[in-house]
A = this chain, B = another copy of it.
Amino acid sequence: MNGADLLCDSLLAQEVELCFANPGTSEMHFVAALDRKPRLRCVLGLHEGVVTGAADGYARMADKPAATLLHTGPGLANGLANLHNARRGHTPMINIVGDHAAYHLVHDAPLTSDIESLARPMSKWVRRIAGPETIAEDVGQAWQAALALRGPATLILPADAAWGEVPPGGKGTPAALPAPVAPPVADSAVAAAAAILRGGGRCGLLLTGRALRADALETAGRIAAATGAGLFSQTSNGRVERGAGRVPVTRIPYPVDQALATLGHLEALILVGAADPVAFFAYPNKPSRLLPEGCALLRLAAIEEDLPGALEALAEALGAGRAVPAYAEAGGTAPEPPASGRLDADGVCALVARLLPEQAVVCDESVSSGRDFYRLSAASPPHDYLQLTGGAIGVGIPLATGAAIACPGRKVVSLQADGSGLYTVQGLWTQAREQLDVVTVVFANRAYAILQGEMRNVGVNSFGRNAERMLSLDSPPVDWVGLARSLGVEAVRVESLEALDRAFRGALATRGPFLIECLT
């Protein structure tokens, strides 16, 4: 048995059964080993941004990590932007990055690079495999690190560790390891949070991670009902279970001024997995921190801790067991959209929110176009909501790809800004190859509209040639229908609400990948 076979067996022992991949020459022994392990399903991405983004989407929905297979430093580099998103979204992932044989590195062959330096900023854990004899342990620890630290763990696999024979006397098939258990929060933190909430001021709970699953939200809702505290979530979260019958939370808006207004009344904020809220970007003469002066801040639980348990403990300390949460009521938020007329981004959001099927998985990289979707879909049928977590655009199509693989019985609705979608459009091909049940709704405004807005924020209201050339995508316009079809995904272009209504209903009624280009 060689190291590559042992690596596969070590992944399978932890029930890592999905490998998103784009291999190269230095990984050929690993590919050959994967080929001997049909239980480990390999899914090709035509660019590593697709690979890592899909692994992110898969893990968010499967609640377990996938592996990725990346080709040396440049292959890893191509996947880093979506690793950044995964790290910021606290998604576990195990990256296997192939490298030259250890003895070859000294020769500085053309593909040699400092993989560790590239990996560290976007990984929670990095290790270079020393040889076939340590592979089982390395994989086990990578798996545990990904789960315990909640983020990407990166293993560098030298080619000679993959092709080298495992020394005799090894233990054969690796054993399943215990999954890391999220540690409970300290009693003192619970007591302190309870004391703040009992104080009766204008308090809020800021949630992210596992605190945004339906059961944890139920608990948070009881706390809110018992104490009058407001429930907030971060602007960006990996996954929210939401919709009619679930406990809604107020998401901190992305625009700084709106965020400041949302949080401006607070006297105390309790962090449940979340970070101290800060502006996404700095702006001249605007604050970095979003909380008002003097607002008390208490961390109930860090992201690695047991967030649902922390909320349970807090509810118990508050005697909130019988409090009745406020639920989102079906049809309560989304206004009946106009049944016809010219399409605009808000109209697309309203229509998708209204037609959203139960148990849909929404992947939202609609950026500025879809900013109203979250509000409009608050009372849509129960669904999961996945979004861009780290601000590195190009996650939407890959995220939907991975989520669809994790949830073969559910419809994935992928809300996609055009500029961001063009970053990793190759992911449509993977959707076609794997025949994934994804409907992609492209907001084709043919611009980096968010940046046009930001230019106005810095006082530039009329654009010269350079700004126009950098912020507009209309010359030439991208033909999303042709683009999708060229990659194997059927598609249609719509320019009216009626046409979108028909196309979206049609996509919901059939299985398989489909794309709707909305001219907005």
Taking Cβ atoms with an 8 Å cutoff, the residues of A that contact B are 21-26, 28-29, 31-32, 34-38, 40-44, 46-47, 49, 69, 73-75, 77-78, 80-81, 84, 88, 100-101, 103-104, 107-111, 113-115, 117-118, 120-122, 159-160, 163, 235-236, 275-276, 278-282, 284, 288-289, 389-392, 394, 419, 422-423, 425-426, 429, 432-433, 450-451, 454-455, 457-460, 463-467, 469-471, 473, 475-483, 485-488
Contact = CB atoms under 8 A, between A and B. Distances in A.
Contacts of A120: 114, 117
A281 B109 contact: yes
B31 A455 contact: yes
B113 A84 contact: yes
Nearest to A488: B476
Contacts of A486: 478-483, 486
B113 A122 contact: yes
B390 A110 contact: yes
A114 B87 CA distance: 13
Contacts of A429: 422, 476, 478
Given A25-B281, A34-B467, A80-B80, 13 more contacts: A31-B455, A32-B459, A44-B470, A78-B394, A80-B118, A101-B282, A109-B278, A111-B392, A117-B120, A117-B121, A433-B475, A433-B476, A482-B482
Contact of A44 (B111, B433, B469): B469
A432 B476 contact: yes
Nearest to A36: B464
A163 B284 CA distance: 8
A318 B17 CA distance: 65
B487 A451 contact: no
Given A34-B466, A429-B476, A433-B476, A276 B107 contact: yes
Contacts of A44: 469-470
A31 B47 CA distance: 29
Contact of A422 (B41, B46, B113, B482): B46
A289 B28 CA distance: 21
A84 B114 CA distance: 11
A433 B289 CA distance: 41
Contacts of A101: 282
A77 B88 contact: no
A23 B448 CA distance: 10
Number of copies: 2
B80 A74 contact: yes
A309 B232 CA distance: 68
A43 B468 CA distance: 11
A432 B483 CA distance: 15
A470 B28 contact: no
A348 B107 CA distance: 35
Contacts of A117: 117-118, 120-121
A327 to B, nearest CB: 30
A337 to B, nearest CB: 29
Contact of A35 (B24, B288, B467, B477): B467
Q: Please indicate which of the listed interface residues A69, A236, A279 has the most CB atoms of chain B within 10 Å of its own CB.
A: A279
Given A88-B110, A289-B107, A433-B476, A74 B392 contact: yes
Contact of A281 (B22, B37, B104): B104
Contact of A426 (B100, B104, B422): B422
Nearest to A164: B284
12 contacts: A23-B470, A31-B466, A75-B392, A84-B113, A104-B288, A109-B288, A110-B389, A117-B117, A423-B426, A433-B476, A479-B485, A486-B486
Given A117-B117, A466-B40, A451 B24 contact: yes
Nearest to A468: B35
A478 B487 contact: yes
A121 to B, nearest CB: 4
A390 B75 CA distance: 12
Contacts of A37: 466
Given A121-B118, A390-B110, A470 B21 contact: yes
A288 B108 CA distance: 10
Contacts of A423: 46-47, 78, 426
B458 A28 contact: yes
A70 to B, nearest CB: 11
A282 B478 CA distance: 42
Contact of A107 (B110, B288, B463, B480): B288
B77 A84 contact: yes
B282 A458 contact: no
Contact of A110 (B236, B425, B465): B236
Contacts of A46: 419, 422-423, 473
A201 to B, nearest CB: 25
A21 to B, nearest CB: 5
